[in-house]
Amino acid sequence: MNVQIDDTCIACGVCTDLCPDVFVMGDEIAHVVTNPIPPEFEDEAQQAAEDCPVDAIIIT
Ligand code: SF4
């Protein structure tokens, strides 16, 4: 499972609060710390993608 964040991110902090082991906040948008996502964080990453208000988290 790989996760990307596109440039529609509004830096709301939902993903970084929900799953700080995978998402960190950069200067303007959130970033993914590690790909592929470790199996133990896949559920949280999936939840973050569902909760992102602008659908900026893309899971492949
Ligand atoms: S939840 Fe979406 S909009 Fe909010 S910081 Fe994460 S990627 Fe950006």
In the reported structure, the alpha carbon of residue 37 is separated from the centroid of ligand 1 by a whole-number distance in angstroms of 17
**Substitution site in 4, 21, 29, 44 for ligand 1 pocket (most atoms within 8 Å of beta carbon):** 29
What are the residue ranges spanned by the domains of the chain? Answer: 3-59
Q: What CATH number belongs to 3-59?
A: 3.30.70.20
CB distance 15 to ligand 1 below 6 Å: yes
Alpha-carbon distances, residue 1 vs 15, 21, 30, 44, 60 (angstroms)? 16, 15, 18, 12, 6
Question: Rounded to two decimals, what is the model's pTM?
Answer: 0.94
Residues 2-59 have pLDDT tens digits of 999 999 999 999 999 999 999 999 999 999 999 999 999 999 999 999 999 999 999 9
